[in-house]
Structures are given as C-alpha cells and as structure tokens.
C-alpha cells in the first residue's frame, strides 16, 4: 500500500497485475469488497492488524450522512421496535418453557471435556458470559430450549445446498466452470467479471441455465431448519453467500434473508442501468441466450442482480453488518469455508460474549476472528459433518422433530420477482 496507486480492479484488464509485476508491491486493498489481496500468495490477507484500515475505508464507502443509508436505518429502527413488542408478547410463553425440565443425555466422549472445563475456574467463568455452561451440542440445545437465545443469526454458504443437487463450480469434469472450457476464458472467474461479460455474455447465460432451475432444486433439510427458527421467532437474520434462492423457496421472508452475492429475482442493463422484468430475464436464462438492451442508444448486455467481481455488495449487506448482526445472541455458521471476504469477516461482527457454532465438514476460519479449537476457546462450538446430518441431530435434541418433518412436507414457494 506504500505507493498509494489506484487501479480499476485486482484483475480486470490487468491494471493492478501489471503494477505488481513492475514494482513487486504485492498487497492491494479492494474498495469494492473491502478486503486485502496478496498477489504473491494469490489469496486474501487475513490479519486483525488490518481491521482499523478496513473500518476507515468502510466509513468512506458508506458515509453516515448518505440519504439512502438514513432511510434504511430508520426502517431498521421501526422494525426493531416491532420485534421488541413481539418479544414482550412472548415472555409469558418463554417463562412457561423455562419451568420444563429439559432432557439431557450427555455423550460419553464429552465427559472428559466437561470435567476439564469444570476444573478450570477462570475459563469456566468466561464461558458462562456467553450464556452457555459447556461448549457442546447438548448444552447448546438446552439453552435454546430454555429460551436463553432469542436472536439467532446464520451465515451460510454452498455447503447447505449440496443435497439439493446444485452443481458446484470447481469439480473437474462436472463443475460449472469445466463446462465453459470451450469459451477459452482467461481464467474461470472471468465469467463473473463485467469486463468479460460486456465482450461475451454467452458463457454467463449458459452457466446460469445450469444454476437456475427452481423447479428441480428444492430446499434442503438445512433450509427448512432455518425456516423453523423463523416460525419460532428465533431467527435474527440469515446472511448467505448463495445465489440459488432456496431460502425464499422455503418461505423465509425477504427481510430475514440477506443475499450477500445477489440473486436472480431482479435484473438490469449493464449500460443504461434500466431495470429488466423478471419474466424477460428468466426466459433468457432458461434458454441460455444473452439478453441485450432494446434501447437504440444502448444495446448493452443485461444481467440478473448477481454481484460480479468488482461490483459493490448490496447496501443491505452493510446495514445488516453494522445494525443487525451485533445484536445476535447466538451465531450459527454453516457450509462455508470462510475464505471469501468480506463475508468471512462477519464472524467477527458479533459481540465477544456471543457463542458461535460452526457446522461444516472441516474446521475453518482458524485466523483471528475465525473459529477457535484450542485450550483458550470460551465460545466456539464445532459440529463436524454434513450440514443436513448435523441439523437432524440438532432437531432431535431440541425436541422439534414433529414440527420439522411437517415443515419439510409443506408446499415449496414459487420463485418470483423481488
């Protein structure tokens, strides 16, 4: 950062790439997604030392005196007041639940960890500040059942949609990127850049044809679990990296889902920025054929509101990050490697006393602000396995099986315009 050079993008037209080659300056700050990138490592730079710099640029990008921001903040304040009234109405019911004795059958392999925690008075006291007594699934479920956690937030990634049959991007031969080899992309991710899209939008529409099939891809058990949290008035917000829209097919309300990387339910022209009807864009996506603006003065390709590399994340992302997530009293992260920024940094936006649960095939986010698995850990619980399998275990321990199974049989909503 010492040269303070400003370039269009990390990769588009190789402006910054050439600068790196000429000067050997490896680190760049991306103003589009508020992250640091290292060309030597070809990866994001992950360090708590950079948070102050990122906060500074965050204020520059989203000034507090922005008219749009003020309006959104006011809407959030009104909604928060409504939520508070709903919580007060539910107090009586919650008090009744607390008098019920929760069932508990601790697993033998957890006894040693509980004993060790009981013997460490200092760490045990710190764990208690989170609302938990122990860092395991049994104690977690007890506390949810007793009404300890009323604002549960979720961060979700591609792992929660795997069982829906949605193809991934990178698997050799079967991945979506491999199906675009005939177009000779400069690099696979180029299909999601405005520069390449402007020259040749066909690869994106062919890829979208494979990805957008709401009649074939149904919500997974994990999606229905999120819906169940909403029905029980426990869901604070679901922030997702996914663009498949399965949250909406499961019936989650718009104001409870933040699609950080966009969605297919609205579209616009990349030239004149005119809005394009959902039905028109959907027809072209299903056919795998590019859609161009009909204005004689424009003629540029149109795209759904999927966030491309270099594009600004939705305003709702920053509003939720600064106004909604900090009020979380339990954070659950599912099916994400926590490698893509700024989404990966969201785990660090909740209070230091907020317990965090990671449901994933492997431990991830071992950087500061990620999920800890060491002797000093006082708030992180790692539940290893496929998301759906772990969710079924959670549902059983919570005593929600009957409601959960009934919800899974409910009618799936149709995909509609945003």
Q: 337-364, pLDDT tens digit by residue?
A: 887 778 888 998 899 999 999 999 888 7
Q: Is 12 helix (H, G, I), strand (E, B) or coil?
A: helix
Indicate the pTM of the whole model: 0.73
In this structure, how many other beta carbons lie within 10 angstroms of the beta carbon of residue 121?
9
Distant-in-sequence, close-in-space partners of 266: CB < 8 Å, separation ≥ 6: 275, 278, 304, 305, 417, 418
- Determine contact, residues 163/388, Cβ cutoff 8 Å: yes
What does the pLDDT read at residue 342? 81
Catalytic residues: 261
What does the pLDDT read at residue 368? 41
Distant-in-sequence, close-in-space partners of 150: CB < 8 Å, separation ≥ 6: 87, 233, 234, 329
What does the pLDDT read at residue 103? 37
Spans in the chain with pLDDT lower than 70: 1-2, 9-14, 32-34, 42, 46-52, 54-55, 58-59, 61-110, 167-176, 365-374, 413-418
What does the pLDDT read at residue 46? 65
What does the pLDDT read at residue 341? 76
What does the pLDDT read at residue 78? 63
What does the pLDDT read at residue 101? 41
| CA angle 234–237–238, rounded 5-degree value | 110
Query: Pairing state of beta strands 152-156 and 330-334?
Result: parallel
What does the pLDDT read at residue 104? 38
């Amino acid at each position: 950062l010492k040269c303070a050079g400003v370039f269009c993008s990390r990769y588009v037209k190789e402006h910054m790439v050439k600068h790196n080659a000429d000067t050997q300056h490896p680190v760049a700050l991306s103003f589009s997604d508020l992250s640091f990138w290292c060309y030597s490592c070809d990866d994001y730079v992950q360090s708590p030392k950079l948070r102050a710099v990122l906060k500074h640029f965050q204020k520059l990008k989203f000034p507090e005196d922005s008219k749009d921001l003020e309006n959104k903040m006011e809407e959030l304040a009104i909604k928060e007041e409504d939520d508070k009234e709903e919580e007060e109405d539910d107090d009586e019911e919650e008090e009744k639940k607390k008098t019920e004795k929760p069932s508990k059958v601790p697993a033998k392999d957890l006894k040693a960890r509980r004993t060790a925690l009981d013997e460490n008075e200092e760490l045990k006291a710190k764990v208690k500040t989170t609302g938990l007594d122990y860092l395991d699934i049994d104690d977690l479920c007890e506390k949810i059942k007793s009404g300890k956690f009323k604002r549960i937030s979720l961060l979700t990634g591609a792992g929660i949609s795997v069982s829906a049959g949605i193809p991934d991007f990178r698997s050799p031969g079967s991945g979506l990127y491999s199906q675009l080899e005939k177009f000779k992309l400069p690099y696979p991710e180029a299909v999601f850049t405005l520069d390449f899209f402007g020259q040749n939008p066909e690869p994106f529409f062919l890829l979208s044809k494979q990805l957008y099939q709401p009649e074939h891809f149904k919500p997974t058990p994990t999606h229905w679990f999120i819906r169940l949290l909403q029905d029980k008035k426990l869901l604070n917000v679901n922030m997702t990296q996914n663009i498949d829209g399965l949250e909406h097919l499961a019936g989650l309300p718009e104001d409870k889902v933040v699609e950080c990387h966009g969605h297919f339910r609205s579209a616009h022209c990349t030239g004149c920025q005119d809005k394009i009807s959902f039905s028109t864009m959907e027809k072209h996506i299903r056919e795998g054929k590019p859609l161009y603006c009909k204005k004689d003065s424009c003629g540029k390709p149109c795209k759904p509101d999927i966030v491309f590399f270099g594009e600004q994340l939705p305003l709702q992302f920053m509003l939720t990050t600064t106004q909604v997530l900090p009020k979380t009293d339990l954070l659950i992260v599912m099916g994400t490697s926590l490698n893509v920024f700024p989404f990966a940094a969201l785990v660090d936006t909740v209070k230091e006393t907020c317990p965090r649960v990671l449901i994933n095939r492997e431990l991830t986010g071992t950087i500061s602000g990620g999920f800890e698995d060491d002797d000093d850990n006082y708030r992180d619980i790692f539940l290893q396995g496929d998301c759906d399998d772990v969710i079924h275990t959670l549902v059983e321990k919570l005593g929600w099986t009957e409601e959960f199974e009934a919800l899974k049989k409910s009618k799936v909503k149709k995909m509609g315009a945003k």
